[in-house]
A and B are shown apart, each in its own frame.
Chain A
Amino acid sequence: MKVKVYGADLSAWVAAACLARSGNQVVIEGPDAVQTQPLEEIPAIRDEPGLLDQIEQQISSGRLIRSNDTSEQHSSDIHWLTFQPNERPAAEALVSKLSKTIPHNLLIINQCNFGVGFTDQLQNTLNDENNQAVVYIPDNLQQGKALQGFSQPKRIILGTDSDWALTMTRSLIRPYLENIEHLQVMTAREAEFTKFAVTGMLAIRLGYINELANLADEMNVDIDVIRDGMGADPRIGRHYLSPGCGFGGQNFSDYIARFSDIFEKRGKNSLLKTVISENEVQKELLFRKLWKHYQCNLNGKTVTLWGASFKPGTASIDNAPSLKLIEALLAQNVTVKIHDPEALDNIRSLFGDHPQLHICDNAYQAASLSDALLLVTEWPQYWSPDYDQLLSLMKTPLILDGRNIFDREALELYGFTYIGIGR
């Protein structure tokens, strides 16, 4: 089939790459600047493991074409929308134009986060009798595992009322149904709501376990033990129950914020709003623990951050806890030395050449002469470091473990002071 993908972020590139790999003829159209930029310089591509290779392969096979030529629209059968939340007018303008240039058999797949009811609004501008239809497919995007999430999903939801659109969409996604456990068709409105509901539920679980961990800190119990006990209950399960120093990421945060707005516009006090604001507080948790440890005076200290990306496996620093920590530390005249396996370029471009921010390519170099090591992102290589070397490098052997990846007893045997979350 001929597919045109609109957008410039991760979900656009992933859709384009996967659809091309399955044999479709794909054109990806985004802002001029992105379409002419070398692929390896586009953060969404650079930050996602395997994506650059895949896109290059598909381009060299001829099935994927980058374009900024808007006149080619009518030659595609399927139009795949992955606009940013703030690009709603652009999406509306595009659909309005397509409805005129393709009067019959126009299939639009909407994967944008524009709120509940947006797909219906688009559909209302189209003529369904002539098979002009919009289908909403919530994305399964997980940064770090985005290719797999697209091509081997376990769950798919298709939001549409149109039989014709459903048939066309099923045929388009057939190559990806190998591992499918649940495929459900519902109205577009319900599908949009479901996407929000799932994201919100996960955020609430994270918010709750963080709250429990903070309480555990004060009440002298170990959150790991509590977590095991909770997770053993099948009604609860073990997913999304790891406490930590706050969650981040572009997509996840956008969805939760938007869903919370929906509640608020209806004058409801939203649980999610609390979760969002408490998560912002949680992102500074390691700072607060450090502040208290050093009796409210960090002036002139040197602090190491291990991990900058919002989670392991990605270079993305969108809404990452590391950003709030860096800002808080710099404001207290702390010298910050930061290491991350992937995200240092992003940190460099965000903070520029700050005299007190040292970006270190080597994790141990970042720890040298440090008054504290803050573990912020649980990259695999941090789980079992060379403790002797750390001990000899650091000025004060203090470790604040934002993801509870270290063993307290072992660290204390080595001679470190250990501060975890909820234990």
Chain B
Amino acid sequence: MAVNQSPAWKALQFHAADLEQQHLKDMFSANPERFQQFSFSAAHCLLDLSKQRMSSHTLQLLNDLAEQQSLKQKILAMFDGEVVNPSESRPALHTALRQPENNPLSVNGTDVNAEVHRSLAKMEKLVNQIHNQQWRGFDGSPIKSVVNIGVGGSDLGPLMTCRALGQFASEQIRAMDIHFVSSMDGSQLARLLNKLDPASTLFIVSSKSFTTIDTLANANTALEWLINASDVPPEIITQHHFIGVTATPAKAVEWGIPEQNQLHFWDWTGGRYSMWSVIGMAIALQVGYDNFRRFLDGAWAMDCHFKDSALDSNLPVLLALTEVWNINFLNIHAHAVLPYDGRLEHLPAYLEQLEMESNGKSVSLSGEPISYATCPILWGEVGPNAQHAFYQLLHQGTEAVMCDFIAPALRYEDQSEELQKQHQLALANCLAQSRLLALGDSVLEDADSAPAHKRYRGNQPSTTIMLDRLTPESFGALIAMYEHKVYVQSVIWEINPFDQWGVELGKQVATSLLSSFDDTSPDYTAADNTDSSTAGLIRFVQDLRRENS
């Protein structure tokens, strides 16, 4: 029986028909205790769900749904290393990546915990060597700039975290430049190579399979740049200017990265769940290994909370069920992520991958097409900037959108008064927007008299997540909360959140088209097994190239 035929689901549908009629402003005026009832805390995070269109009964029914789906057992199954990714026959053990040392966890006869810490220890050694300025380039200069080449999970997580926690770098470390390059067209890399000194630049090539074409294309350009600048043979360049981070050591060796320059992780680490592993090398380089460890500890605190707490006070579970309520019972299919702290500028892009690549699925675990909504469209922007961009749609458009407002309570504690005021300004805006979205213009005395184009209907639900401060610990906990939320939703929806078959076919088709762009390629016609649009566009490029050659 599909979940949407189950009793718990039906009960929620029935309940929704009733609750749909209620406006948030009326719920607030009817119940002055909403904040106390609908806010929850754990691991540096305060989760306020009181601006969601829910009653206590809703939470009860959602809890019933979770129990019906055996959520508690499914959570333990993930932690214990059971195969929760059946289409690839793998466990998903990102939680093992942050589990403290000396907690043996056996998977297929291997102690995963020991392997994780062996791998981290090697990374720590390399990080310290670089920070101590004893990693040398081809002319003996110490490394000053590091470029992380990776895409998807090998880029978004490390980039986001470097930006979020950059202030925690010690002064010595801050002198080091960390850059990120992902785009296959080379535009980021080309701009960067103009500025960097080859002799003191180190490239981290991060690819789980070490076959990712985007990443290898950039790595090849970097290698060529170094060879041209140095007059040194390629094997010496790769030895002193490249570190490979991969789950496929043989492929990295094939590309030219010697074993001693490699850091390894495992096929049970999903790309979008991998920054806690040696994929986080760039993070450790940016903020120092100790702060990287704090970041893992923060995530582990959330892991423990997720594993051990009752469902009705469990932050990731509550966050997930609330969204299931919005998506499947209130029919909201757009989700905006709105951090009110510029350090979190890359959080929306990170969550786009985490959520949409994980739960953007329409086939159930048993292989059946499903007939209910799963992951919504998710996007976002630093809140204050988004206020000048798409908030118009949130307030007065025709789409229902659920929002996550995210902010630290305290910031700039040891800094200037003006900066502290800027943070207060951001907080005031954060709370004003969520208040207005929920209550509409009922916050004004005489809103009724305004013309229609000045009215705010409200009733847009939102969640507010407040951290005490943005620290490596609280940030680790925040991200782990979202990871676990995604898993809980997948359990409700009965889908596999750990595969991504939808990104495979495009790569194959691209490979088949690539040769058409060679100079020697003959004129392309629709007879070459494509459609007329593809053929027409290829011809357009071919013709222009010939005219300009």
Contact = CB atoms under 8 A, between A and B. Distances in A.
A288 B142 CA distance: 10
B140 A288 contact: yes
17 contacts: A281-B141, A287-B140, A288-B140, A289-B140, A291-B136, A291-B139, A292-B138, A292-B139, A295-B236, A296-B138, A296-B140, A296-B232, A296-B236, A296-B239, A328-B134, A331-B129, A332-B134
B98 interface: no
A291 B134 CA distance: 12
Contacts of B140: 284, 287-292, 296
Nearest to A324: B133
A331 B139 contact: no
B532 interface: no
Contacts of A331: 129, 132, 134
Interface of B: 129, 132, 134, 136, 138-142, 232, 236, 239-240
B134 A288 contact: no
B240 A288 contact: no
Nearest to B233: A295
Interface string A288-325: 11111001100000000000000000000000000000
Nearest to B134: A331
A281 B200 CA distance: 12
Nearest to A284: B140
B141 A288 contact: yes
A53 interface: no
B134 A296 contact: no
A300 to B, nearest CB: 14
Given A292-B139, A296-B236, A332-B136, 17 more contacts: A281-B141, A287-B140, A288-B139, A288-B141, A289-B140, A290-B140, A291-B136, A291-B140, A295-B232, A296-B136, A296-B232, A296-B239, A327-B134, A328-B134, A331-B129, A331-B134, A332-B134
Contacts of B134: 327-328, 331-332
A289 B140 CA distance: 8
Nearest to A289: B140
B350 to A, nearest CB: 36
A295 B136 CA distance: 12
A295 B132 CA distance: 22
B16 to A, nearest CB: 62
Interface in A261-298: 281, 284, 287-292, 295-296
A101 B89 CA distance: 85
Contacts of A332: 134, 136
A-B pairs, top 6 by smallest CB distance, nearest first, are A288-B140, A291-B140, A331-B134, A296-B236, A296-B240, A287-B140
Contacts of B142: 284
Choose among B129, B134, B136, B139 the residue with the greatest number of A CB atoms under 10 Å from its CB.
B136
Nearest to B142: A284
Contacts of A328: 134, 136
Contacts of B141: 281, 288
A331 B236 CA distance: 18
A333 to B, nearest CB: 11
Contacts of B129: 331
Nearest to A281: B141
Contacts of B136: 291, 296, 328, 332
Nearest to A286: B140
